[in-house]
Amino acid sequence: MAAKIRVLTVVTNHADLGNTGKKTGWYLPEVAHPYDVFVKAGFEVDFVSPQGGQAPMDPGSAEAFKDDPVCQAFLKSGAEKLKTTMTPSQVDISKYKVIFYAGGHGPMFDLPNNMEIANLCTKAYEAGAIVSAVCHGTVGLVPVKLSNGDSIVKGQTVTSFTNAEEEFMKLTEAMPFLLETKLRELGANFVGAANFQVNVQTSGRIVTGQNPPSASPMAEKIVSLVKAA
């Protein structure tokens, strides 16, 4: 029997939404929906965060998706894993065929400068793994450099939560930087859709989704790429 495909999901430990006084963390449907797609495909899903241990959920996402059956099922089962995430040093990256960065505003604060997870991503990608992200999770690609020194997103077609979506949420000032702008500065070919429309971009083995509605389609694309390999 073939070994299970393993997915390493990267989540944030950061709970404070800039200087707003509000709480953030990982965004429920951007973890729950991909998790559901991966598990139904027979994949094994593990979680890592910069500090390990408890990874906080954005409380607003729990409220916004209280009627979403996939999110509610995840809170009853899979969410336990978010209390005991691995530290980067505990990860044997050679086991993973997919590395996936989940969204939420939290990652904007603790992933852009986290070289431990960035180095795991470089190793995974250069060993043939799929690298993926949804929404603000794409910020996890910001510090990732390949062995030749280039940004992993240089020349790649990617997406993320857009500047227009950030402005719509009135959180532009709360962010340490604008993710779309940063990805463009790193040489990415950034493709954004209208606010909160489904948008998944595939560029070789890099798969990115723009926002919460893009989470399931992004995961479905990953499954199709894994199965085609």
Domains annotated for the chain, with CATH where assigned, are 6-228 (3.40.50.880)
Estimate to the nearest angstrom the gap between the alpha carbon of 123 and the chain centroid. 17
pLDDT tens for each residue of 156-169: 999 999 999 999 99
The pLDDT value recorded for residue 229 is 83
The pLDDT value recorded for residue 2 is 59
Q: Which residues are catalytic?
A: 135-136, 166
| CB under 8 A, 24+ apart: contacts of 50-53 | 50/12, 50/13, 50/87, 50/88, 50/110, 50/111, 50/114, 50/116, 50/117, 51/13, 51/87, 52/85, 52/86, 52/87, 52/88, 52/90, 53/13, 53/83, 53/84, 53/85, 53/87
Mean pLDDT by 10 residues, the chain (229 residues): 85 96 97 98 97 97 96 94 97 98 98 98 98 98 98 98 98 97 98 98 98 98 94
